[in-house]
Amino acid sequence: MNALKKLYKEFFGLSEQTTKQNPNDIEIAASVAKDKNALTAAQVAAKKAGGNVRITANESEIDEAQLVNHIADYRGGVEYVLRDPSMAQNVANDIRDWSERKGFTIVKQNISKSGKVGYFYFRLGEDPGRESQKIQGYIAQVPEIKHFRFNVRGQRPQPEAPQAI
């Protein structure tokens, strides 16, 4: 399992974040946290103990993420929206460094005047499907990015073929 995990990290250029847990933290289930009285009681108890309240959820309580960026949509362009516009240049530099490390060639890069929206256009390689998976894997894990989509600016979206009934 460790070799597979290492391979996955190298493929997507990921790194793990390590955090030390406070022994005074109070952990409550997401279903319990919906009750205002229970949540308030847990917050008061955690404050007295010098910890925090952590809300955990089991698998049935977590909605599965919807994949809106399909592999077939990738034509070289990636638009992203940042949570904090002041981080625009740092995020663009991180994406540029990662893409150069992974062998991608950046053709065009833009950051909006407000710094909220960024755009990269990559040269398409031999296997666009694999490239889109790598790009999606990296950009999805960048915490400063709110959401992103595959879009080539200045091109019309490809019309969907009519389906036979």
Hey, where are the domains in the chain? 25-63, 71-150
Higher-pLDDT residue of 45 and 79 is 79
In Å, how far are 7, 8, 12, 141, 156 from 16, measured between CA atoms? 13, 12, 12, 11, 38
Q: What is the mean pLDDT of the chain?
A: 75
| pLDDT confidence of residue 49 | 74
| pLDDT confidence of residue 34 | 63
Strand pairing of 26-29 and 53-56?
Answer: parallel
pLDDT in tens, 114-148: 889 999 988 888 888 888 888 888 888 888 888 88
CATH code of 71-150, in short, is 3.30.70.260
Count of CB atoms within 10 A of residue 123's CB?
11
Residues ≥6 apart with Cβ < 8 Å to 11: 134, 137
Give me the percent of the chain exceeding a pLDDT of 70.
Answer: 64
The CA distance from 54 to 132, in Å, is 35
Instruction: Name which of 77, 75, 110, 96 is nearest 142 in CA terms.
Output: 96
To the question of pTM greater than 0.85 for the whole model, the response is no
